[in-house]
Structure 1
Amino acid sequence: MKILLLNDFGTATGGAELQILSLRQGLRERGHEVRLLSSSISPIANTEVLSDYCCFGTNTKLQVLSQTVNPSAYLYLRQILHDFKPDVVHVRIFMGQLSPLILPLLKDVPCLYQTAMYRAICPTGKKILPDGSPCQDKPGLACLRQGCLTPPSWFILMIQRQLWQKWRKAFDLVVALSYGMKNKLEAEGIKPVQVVYNGVPERPKRPPLSDPPLVAFAGRLSLEKGVKVLLEAFAQVVAKLPQARLLIAGQGNEKTELVNLAEKLGISQHIIWLGHLSRTELENHFDSAWVQVVPSLWDEPFGNVTTEAMMRGTAVIASAVGAQPEIVKEGVTGFLVPPNDVERLANALVELLFNPQKAEKMGQAGRERALTHFSENRRTEHFLELYQQIYQQYYA
């Protein structure tokens, strides 16, 4: 089968990009001819673009325009469809660089949209307000009134939304990353929706736990990720277990504020700020973690860091939001706590850091669950089934 993948970025950086690259590899290993079209831009400087085709992309102020109408993406895709003649097109993220202008080209091709964020129902893709609370409004004037968008960006992104609404029927199927995400999309009229969990690469189990007790976090340093809550909870842990340490991997616009908060809480000497790491570097640092925390405040569509921790054999404490209750088995592979609840998070951390045997047991259970339910092979096979399904709708 000839398969064309589309994604805004073709770099081995964020979770969506790693997923699309590993999917391409998995499909090629099964004998399929697979190519990837992305923009030429990288979200992180000096990172190689690994796509087969690259169109124009930008992370300057022009992006608000090009993500709405990108003629380069249209022209490249038109030529690729003519030359490559794919049997199926798989679109992942496209409303940040490639733009809805590509959609009319796909109306006569078997095509699915794997939505990695909520851009189909929210211009920011997150369905959260600037204060971190969930957004219950429909897209429109509410985005301006709530302060989610500036007037210029609001005007242009409303045009983008109109183009998406006009051409979204080019997709034969929408794929969500979790059932929680599926429910949100269907509540906004996006149908039909199927669910395919992200895949996590298999790796050897981490070494046995050893001192000092180590907590890990990986993700953007932004409001919705809940790092502030983690720091406040960790301060309570340090008061009871002074030898505890916290690894924080990631970068973001809250870095300075979080560093200042750590100093105010008196825990700076217990924290190691790792910055952005490649997946290999991150796994090397996190091999010694007793527990990994995912303190998100918003309904994340999935949770790659959760399944990666489980595959490593690390117990997980996660907020009970988004897809996390579908991934973490409460009391077996880790703990689920209410979002923004410092006390509950601190208590869960204390329970594992004072009981390494329980942390080991939960980590092993998580690894078994990751191998069974969240492997890359399982994801790739599931997509092949969906490709066949939409292909047969055209050519049966």
Structure 2
Amino acid sequence: MSERLDVGFVPAECPGAPGSGAVETSTLLIERLSERHDLTVYVSSQMDSANADLPAEDRVEYVMHDNLSKLPHPIAAKHEALREELPAMERHDLVHSYSSAFIPVLADLEVPTLSTLNSYVPVCPKGDMMYHGERKCSGPSPVKCASCIATTAVKRRQGVERELRASYSSLGKIDLVQKSMKHADDIDAYHALSPHLKEDYAALGFPGERTTVIPHFYDEAFHREDPDPEAGVDDGDPVTLLYVGALQDIKGLHVLIPGLAEMRRRGHDVELEIVGSGPYEARLKELASEEGVADAIDWLGYVDHGDLPDIYDEADAFVYPGLIDEPFGRVVLEALSMRTPLLVSDVGSMDFIVGDAGEPFEAGNPSALADAFERLVDDYDAHYAAIDDELPRFAPETVIGKYSDLYREVAATKRVVTR
């Protein structure tokens, strides 16, 4: 076994707590990485760690800054707490932040540093890289970002209170974006979740030559080891599509529902299960009625993460109709690892994850979604068989091995920079 390194690890929020995909991935990473390296985990979070099931506690040292104030801004409070630990961090072989929001803090360290690019927060205060919510942004500036935040809030119309909170959060990140881009070259190495994310950051001035692509690995709780000999589309039964995620405008459910209607107009017996909740739920249910497919949709609401594998397992195909370049898309990997063929919009890292195990379609186009559905059904067995070719790239041991290789490279190299 390779030599264990002494690693300072900064997770996204509090590991082991209910939360986003980044929180879940941080939790899984700590569990796996601690088998190969000595980890000190520096938690800087507004969450309460008492509600978290901290991973690998017998092998990991935790330094907790939880229940942080959200004022004057959540990011500012996290940075202030983490800066208190900078002297302690200097003793590690390297410091790895799995949160993209801590670049300005890591820039002050003299030990080797690694920052994961798992969101667009360092280059976009809204985190979606969509200018006015309509097209991909070419790059930030304070005035441009402020205008975009205001315009997007008006267009989304998700309620005054919700939009005020979102706008406050985004406006407070304009300073973070400026600082992150200023210090982009002061981080020794970057880790991107997908090739497209690496390319996007490189186009904005981040050092592509020091950015390594390593994807998520699948959660073994979501892994069906062997193919299902009975998998297939039966002409006598409806085809069940599954969506898992937030009910937000950027997720594209207002495209999925008309797409479902188009599939049924073409004579396909198809049903849709929707897992998740969010501000668009009422409007989406209205849309389902308007499109005449209310009886073909099962709204499952929020489902505990541990109960999702059974839902994936029962679906014939997973559908991701998102409109923006998601940095990765953990639910898509969950579907793949449960051996569920996929329909995915042609954005972000979807093609990198799915490969031949699914069919892409033009984002925002219900008719294109229906076309992709027909292609998937017509060649279902081939797409199902292709899952075996895609899964090994995301196996935990394969991915963690790449992390360990990157850790050794980063720990051995320290550039001379002017901070």
Asked whether the two chains share a fold, i.e. TM above 0.5, the reply is yes
Query: 1:15-30 to 2 correspondence within 5 Å?
Result: 15-30=21-36
State the SS of the aligned residue for 1:180: helix
**Residue 92 of structure 2: which of 86, 106, 117 is its match?**
86
Q: Deviations over 1:158-192 (max 9, x none)?
A: 33233334444442111111111111101110113
Contact residue 226 and residue 340 of structure 1 kept, 8 A: yes
- Partner residue in 2 for 1:55: 65
| 2:357 counterpart of 1:333 | yes
Distance 1:154 1:133 in 2: 18
- Partner residue in 2 for 1:162: 178
Distance 1:232 1:46 in 2: 43
Distance 2:123 2:193 in 1: 15
Contact residue 326 and residue 347 of structure 2 kept, 8 A: yes
| 2:390 counterpart of 1:365 | no
Change in 2 beyond 3 A, CA 1:249/1:48: same
Instruction: Note the C-alpha offset of 1:309.
Output: 1.5
| 2:82 counterpart of 1:74 | yes
TM-score by length of 1: 0.85
- Partner residue in 2 for 1:103: 106
Instruction: Note the C-alpha offset of 1:135.
Output: 2.0
Gaps of 5+ in 2: 56-61, 154-163
Q: Deviations over 1:33-62 (max 9, x none)?
A: 22322234349x99525273331456x8x3
- Partner residue in 2 for 1:140: 142
Identity %: 23
Q: How many residue pairs get matched?
A: 379
Gaps of 5+ in 1: none
Change in 2 beyond 3 A, CA 1:154/1:280: closer
Distance 1:268 1:139 in 2: 44
Contact residue 275 and residue 303 of structure 2 kept, 8 A: yes
| 2:12 counterpart of 1:8 | yes
Distance 2:287 2:206 in 1: 41
Letter aligned with residue 129 of structure 1: Y
TM-score by length of 2: 0.81
Q: Deviations over 1:328-357 (max 9, x none)?
A: 22xx3111111111111012223444x4xx
Q: Deviations over 1:38-97 (max 9, x none)?
A: 234349x99525273331456x8x356231354652355236537xx33221102253xx
Change in 2 beyond 3 A, CA 1:193/1:307: same
Distance 1:152 1:20 in 2: 26
Query: 1:1-396 to 2 correspondence within 5 Å?
Result: 1-9=5-13, 10=15, 11-30=17-36, 32-42=37-47, 48=52, 50=54, 52-57=62-67, 62=70, 65-70=73-78, 73-74=81-82, 77-78=85-86, 80-81=88-89, 85-93=91-99, 95=101, 102-103=105-106, 105=108, 107-146=109-148, 147-148=151-152, 156-191=172-207, 192-202=210-220, 203-204=223-224, 205=226, 207=228, 208-209=230-231, 211-241=237-267, 243-329=269-355, 332-353=356-377, 355=378, 358-370=379-391, 372-394=392-414
Instruction: Note the C-alpha offset of 1:219.
Output: 1.7
Change in 2 beyond 3 A, CA 1:18/1:289: same
Distance 2:147 2:340 in 1: 42
Change in 2 beyond 3 A, CA 1:279/1:154: closer
Distance 1:334 1:386 in 2: 31
Contact residue 214 and residue 246 of structure 1 kept, 8 A: yes
Contact residue 42 and residue 82 of structure 2 kept, 8 A: no
